[in-house]
Amino acid sequence: MLMKSSAQSLAEQLAARFAQRIRDRLLSPGARLPSVRQCAQQQGVSPSTVVGAYDLLLAQGLVDARRNRGFYVREASPVSADSAPVQAAQPAGALPLASPQRAPLNATALIRGMFHGISDKPQPGMGVLPREWLESTFLASAVRRFCNTQDLNDLSLQYGEPAGDSSLRRALSNKLKSLAVAAPADQIITTMGATHALDIVSRTMLRAGDYVMVEEPGWAVEFARLDALGMRILPVPRRADGPDLEVMARYAEAHAPKLFVSVSVFHNPTGYCLSPASAHRVLQLANRYHFHVVEDDTYSHFAPAHATRLCALDGLQRTIYVGGFAKILAPNWRVGYLAAPPNLVERLLDTKLLSTLTTPALLEKALAWCMEQGQIRRHAERIRQRLDAARSRSVALAQAHGFSFAAEPAGLFGWVETGVDTDALSQRMLDEGYLLAPGALFHAQRVPSSLMRINFATTQEPAVWEALRRLCAEQGK
């Protein structure tokens, strides 16, 4: 809210608001600011105030003025010809690639929002459960168990095991066995969260310029991460039963991709789960065209054990399993892991050692103890019950306010149809103190979208949906 009583002028306050959004990537390079008239109406100020704010942003070098077109967030410095990834010619009839030179996705805006909240309101675009859902007593007990002087010295005054604490790897092996994934402890490597596990796989299996298939819509951070590594991204449309197999086959024939990255269970952002028939076809393609499949099972704790997983069907031959505990337990513990075919384990371990040397043994031992005592299993059961109730309430609120779902609601996230451009809607919702996850974020090449991803756990208050309905109605005029 702009305050007339503030020591800053209204123009300075408005400029500071836009400047913070630009720095936090909530407005990405190339994004167009609202027109002077539109901004004045939205903020309840005079056009001259908006002109003054935009002039301040120009002076700070944050925006450019384009004649007869408006004001745009200044683009990042262009990549030099010497450092730009080589764009290979596409074979005749090949599917279009995601542009490797697009402006950086503001995927990190959602991550930054986790570190410093937009406001004290519940945030629809958050990727994690609310703090109060995750609070427990058993984590503190587990850490205290290994904090006596001798244990603490043993764990802290030397590097841990290269592959990760052996007790945690044994516990993870048992967990995977319950999912029908046969992974002995010596095929498991612990990491600094699931994202680190994905990064280890990418840096081990790929080189700049290699082709990678990734589901679309998909996880914004994965697109941005692969792009930053110089990979050529092949977006595969994700359907209710799995990836578009015809598109995958055409990509495999034309580009010989090295990897396919997939979220089989409770796909982000749609909530889709892979069907057995689709899973078999994906593995057939992987064997025929000699690519590996990275299965990101980040949401496994929300899903039934019998859900179809590629690694269970394949037996870790052409598949690599990635998991973690940030969604269900303690985001800041940064404990993740991967399970890989025997012939890849040493290569993946070398990459881990080059990036982090080892991982924190104290937290790994504490987590292993929680798993062995059944604490994680019981905690996950409580979370699933609470999430089921939250999902039902969130869906009812969404539908009561005129919104529909583009995919059957399931898991942590909902894929909501708004009928308006959600990039623009997200900026208006920021004015109300809410962080959204607009649909364009979940595409390899950013395009306008009327969809948005919501977190069922953080959309329980009618006020969220009332604000969305009101702003969608204003935007649709």
For residues 399 and 385, state if they share a domain.
yes
Residue 165 lies in a domain: yes
Distance separating alpha carbons of residues 250 and 238, to the nearest angstrom: 15
Give the chain's largest Cα–Cα span: 71
Position 132: which residue type?
E
Position 453: which residue type?
R
Higher per-residue pLDDT: 143 or 465: 465
We report the CATH number of the domain holding residue 69 as 1.10.10.10
Q: What is the pLDDT of residue 103?
A: 36
The CA-atom distances, in angstroms, between 422 and each of 430, 446, 454 are 12, 12, 12
Residue 97 lies in a domain: no
Q: What is the pLDDT of residue 145?
A: 86
- For the record, the structure tokens of 421 come out as 């451009």
Query: With 70 as the cut, is the pLDDT of residue 398 above it?
Result: yes
Q: What is the mean pLDDT of residues 374-396?
A: 95
For residues 142 and 123, state if they share a domain.
no
For residues 399 and 348, state if they share a domain.
no
Express each pLDDT in 264-300 by its tens digit: 999 999 999 999 999 999 999 999 999 999 999 999 9
Taking the CA atoms of the chain, what radius of gyration do you get in angstroms? 23
Q: What is the mean pLDDT of residues 185-203?
A: 96
Q: What is the mean pLDDT of residues 243-267?
A: 97
Q: What is the pLDDT of residue 466?
A: 97
Q: How confident is the model at residue 349 (pLDDT cuts 50, 70, 90)?
A: very high
Q: How confident is the model at residue 341 (pLDDT cuts 50, 70, 90)?
A: very high
Express each pLDDT in 213-250 by its tens digit: 999 999 888 998 999 899 999 999 999 999 999 999 99
Domain closes at, from 340, 373, 406: 373
Q: What is the pLDDT of residue 155?
A: 66
Distance separating alpha carbons of residues 321 and 341, to the nearest angstrom: 9
Q: What is the pLDDT of residue 107?
A: 63
For residues 121 and 268, state if they share a domain.
no
Q: What is the mean pLDDT of residues 394-400?
A: 97
Distance separating alpha carbons of residues 68 and 21, to the nearest angstrom: 24
We report the CATH number of the domain holding residue 449 as 3.90.1150.10
For residues 146 and 125, state if they share a domain.
no
Q: How confident is the model at residue 87 (pLDDT cuts 50, 70, 90)?
A: very low
Residue 412 lies in a domain: yes
Distance separating alpha carbons of residues 354 and 373, to the nearest angstrom: 33
We report the CATH number of the domain holding residue 363 as 3.40.640.10
Distance separating alpha carbons of residues 264 and 276, to the nearest angstrom: 10
For residues 261 and 354, state if they share a domain.
yes
- For the record, the structure tokens of 433 come out as 């103190």
Among 65-79, 193-207, 414-428, the range scoring the smallest mean pLDDT is 65-79
For residues 362 and 391, state if they share a domain.
no
* Secondary structure string (H, E, C) spanning the chain: CCCCCCCCCHHHHHHHHHHHHHHCCCCCCCCECCCHHHHHHHHCCCHHHHHHHHHHHHHCCCEEEECCCEEEECCCCCCCCCCCCCCCCCCCCCCCCCCCCCCCCCHHHHHHHHHCCCCCCCCCCCCCCCHHHHCCCHHHHHHHHCCCHHHHHHHHCCCCCCCCCHHHHHHHHHHHHHCCCCCCHHHEEEECCHHHHHHHHHHHHCCCCCEEEEEECCCHHHHHHHHHCCCEEEEEEEECCEECHHHHHHHHHHHCCCEEEECCCCCCCCCCCCCHHHHHHHHHHHHHHCCEEEEECCCHHHCCCCCCCHHHHHCCCCEEEEEECCCCCCHHHCCEEEECCHHHHHHHHHHHHHHHCCCCHHHHHHHHHHHHCCHHHHHHHHHHHHHHHHHHHHHHHHHHCCCEECCCCCCCEEEEECCCCHHHHHHHHHHCCCCCEEHHHHCCCCCCCCEEEEEHHHCCCHHHHHHHHHHHHHHCC
- What values do phi and psi take at 445, rounded to 5? -120, 115
Distance separating alpha carbons of residues 62 and 285, to the nearest angstrom: 47
Q: What is the pLDDT of residue 68?
A: 82
User: Domain containing 34: what range?
Assistant: 10-73
Q: What is the pLDDT of residue 106?
A: 62
Residue 78 lies in a domain: no
Residue 87 lies in a domain: no
Query: With 60 as the cut, is the pLDDT of residue 181 above it?
Result: yes
Q: How confident is the model at residue 12 (pLDDT cuts 50, 70, 90)?
A: confident
Residue 30, number of CB atoms within 10 A of its CB: 15
Q: What is the pLDDT of residue 329?
A: 87
For residues 241 and 318, state if they share a domain.
yes
Q: What is the pLDDT of residue 110?
A: 62
Domain closes at, from 73, 89, 123: 73
Residue 172 lies in a domain: yes
For residues 288 and 158, state if they share a domain.
yes
Domains of the chain: total: 3
Distance separating alpha carbons of residues 457 and 70, to the nearest angstrom: 38
- The alpha carbon torsion through 455, 458, 459, 465 (nearest 10 deg) reads -110
Please state, rounded to an integer, the average pLDDT across all residues of the chain. Answer: 88
The share of the chain scoring above pLDDT 70, in percent, equals 89
Residue 289 lies in a domain: yes
For residues 202 and 279, state if they share a domain.
yes
- What values do phi and psi take at 416, rounded to 5? -105, 135
For residues 237 and 384, state if they share a domain.
no
Q: What is the pLDDT of residue 148?
A: 75
Instruction: Check if the beta carbon of residue 212 is closer than 8 Å to that of residue 232.
Output: yes
Domain closes at, from 325, 353, 373: 373
Instruction: Check if the beta carbon of residue 172 is closer than 8 Å to that of residue 337.
Output: yes
Q: What is the pLDDT of residue 95?
A: 54
Characterise 68 by phi-psi region: left (phi > 0), alpha (psi -120 to 50), beta (else): left
For residues 297 and 436, state if they share a domain.
no
Residue 2 lies in a domain: no
